[in-house]
């Protein structure tokens, strides 16, 4: 079997990282793959670094009306048994248009839970033979919008826990971020975009500081709202409390040193950062939305709060800072859950089952 994968994202995190893990896992199982990504992308560079089969394809964004023709030609050259589209940045529409002309079975992975316009749902999802969702929450959104349930398969995202299972190098961590020993440290790792809830956290911080003065918050990541959040930090006199370390390739080294991780998203398909926290043994306080409850079990591996509620968020953070033993127990429960439910092997086999289903149907 040969599978052609299209990933139009450029940076190696989130969904793009899942694609690399998938292709790598399929290769190890003897499945032939070709990963297609934009010219000059970090995804392509990382694929080559890992020794994965890669093809660069020019793409000028979601308005590149000639992309379907280029993609169709590439599919004809590669002659795959299945085409798998992994990104919404043009892959789900332009990629589908190009692939549909070839008659090759077509799969889309959907990683977000935000509703789409009804006209777009009707026009787009009829193009795919199967839609893989990374959480049951996303499946429910699609069914509610009229997508045929028989097309959907849930295969959750995965994580290689090994890099996150190393013990915290406390002295290095404290020196790196200028933190005094004994200081509680709360982390957040997410793109700076509206649905991740950075503003909710900033509203919650003063209430946390009332009970736990001196607590430090590290907000890892980058994105279009970074400058706005930086201004809010300055205006709220939180400069000494909140750090903005940016996107860190060494995040796996630092996560185990956090006392807890917060994820106040207002929408979330699943949340890979939650898997990372679990693998690192870090308890989580997160919003009870989307696919988050499929990762974080309330009262067991963390605490879930209503989305957009800074008071509830502050209360939950304070509760875990008040009780380090309870927090430690939750972190260990999260570690066990990630190992059992979100392994790379399980994710790879789930995707392969979908491919085999389509190939068998075609034959």
Q: How far is CA 36 from each of CA 54, 79, 362, rounded to the nearest angstrom?
A: 6, 14, 24
pLDDT band at 28 (very low <50, low <70, confident <90, very high): very high
pLDDT for the residue 87: 75
Mean pLDDT confidence for 272-293: 96
Q: Which of 188, 189, 170, 164 is nearest to 279 (CA)?
A: 164
Residues in the chain: 363
Question: pTM, whole model, 2 decimals?
Answer: 0.88
**Can you list the positions of beta strands (E) in the chain?**
2-6, 32-38, 54-57, 82-85, 106-110, 130-133, 152-154, 185-189, 216-220, 242-246, 260-263, 284-287, 302-305
Find where tokens 């002309």 sit: 101
Query: Which pLDDT tens digit goes with each residue over 132-186?
Result: 999 999 999 999 999 999 999 999 999 989 999 889 999 999 999 999 999 999 9
The answer to whether residue 10 scores a pLDDT higher than 80 is: no
Q: What are the domain boundaries of the chain?
A: 2-158+343-362, 162-341
pLDDT for the residue 260: 97
| Cα first-last separation, the chain | 12
pLDDT band at 90 (very low <50, low <70, confident <90, very high): low
The answer to whether residue 335 scores a pLDDT higher than 70 is: yes
In the chain, % of residues over pLDDT 70:
99
Q: What is the spatial distance between Cα 37 and Cα 52, in angstroms, rounded to a whole number?
A: 12
CATH fit for domain 162-341, picks 3.40.50.2000, 3.40.30.10, 3.90.1150.10, 3.50.50.60:
3.40.50.2000
> Are 2-158+343-362 and 162-341 the same fold in CATH?
yes
Mean pLDDT confidence for 264-280: 94
Q: What is the spatial distance between Cα 221 and Cα 201, in angstroms, rounded to a whole number?
A: 15
In the chain, % of residues over pLDDT 90:
80
Mean pLDDT confidence for 32-50: 92
CATH fit for domain 2-158+343-362, picks 3.40.50.2000, 3.30.565.10, 2.70.98.60, 3.30.420.40:
3.40.50.2000
Burial call 306-325: b when 16+ CB within 10 Å, e when fewer: ebbbbebbbbbbbebbeeee
Calculate the average pLDDT of the chain. 93
Query: Which pLDDT tens digit goes with each residue over 188-215?
Result: 999 999 999 999 999 999 999 999 999 9
DSSP code at position 237: T
Mean pLDDT confidence for 239-267: 94
Any bridge partners for residue 97, and if so which? Answer: none
Is residue 43 within 8 A of residue 7, CB to CB? The reply is yes
pLDDT for the residue 2: 98
């Amino acid at each position: 079997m040969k599978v052609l994968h299209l990933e139009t994202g450029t940076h190696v995190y989130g969904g793009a990282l899942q694609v690399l893990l998938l292709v790598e896992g399929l290769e190890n199982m003897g499945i032939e793959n070709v990963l297609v990504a934009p010219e000059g992308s970090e995804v392509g560079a990382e694929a080559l670094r890992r020794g994965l089969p890669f093809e660069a394809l020019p793409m000028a964004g979601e308005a590149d009306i000639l992309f379907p023709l280029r993609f169709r030609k590439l599919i004809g050259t590669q002659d795959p048994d299945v085409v798998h589209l992994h990104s919404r940045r043009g892959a789900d529409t332009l990629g589908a248009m190009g692939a549909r002309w070839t008659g090759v079975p077509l799969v889309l992975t959907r990683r977000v839970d935000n509703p789409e316009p009804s006209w777009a749902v009707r026009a787009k999802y009829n193009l795919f033979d199967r839609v893989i969702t990374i959480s049951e929450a996303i499946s429910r959104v699609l069914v509610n919008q009229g997508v045929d349930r028989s097309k959907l398969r849930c295969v959750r995202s995965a994580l290689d826990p090994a890099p996150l299972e190393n013990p915290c190098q406390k002295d290095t961590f404290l020196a790196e971020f200028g933190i005094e020993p004994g200081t509680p440290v709360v982390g957040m790792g997410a793109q700076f975009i509206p649905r991740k809830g950075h503003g909710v956290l900033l509203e919650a911080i003063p209430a946390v500081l009332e009970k736990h003065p001196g607590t430090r918050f590290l907000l890892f990541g980058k994105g279009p709202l970074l400058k706005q959040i930086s201004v809010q930090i300055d205006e709220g006199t939180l400069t000494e409390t909140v750090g903005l370390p940016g996107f860190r390739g060494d995040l796996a080294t630092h996560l185990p040193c956090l006392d807890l991780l917060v994820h106040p998203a207002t929408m979330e398909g699943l949340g890979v950062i939650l898997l990372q926290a679990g693998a690192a043994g870090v308890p989580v306080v997160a919003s009870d939305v989307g696919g988050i409850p499929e990762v974080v079990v309330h009262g067991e591996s963390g605490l879930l709060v209503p989305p957009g509620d800074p008071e509830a968020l502050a209360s939950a953070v304070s509760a875990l800072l008040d009780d380090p033993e309870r927090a430690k127990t939750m972190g260990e429960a999260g570690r066990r859950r990630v190992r059992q439910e979100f392994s790379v092997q399980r994710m790879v086999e789930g995707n392969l089952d979908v491919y085999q289903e389509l190939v068998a149907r075609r034959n």
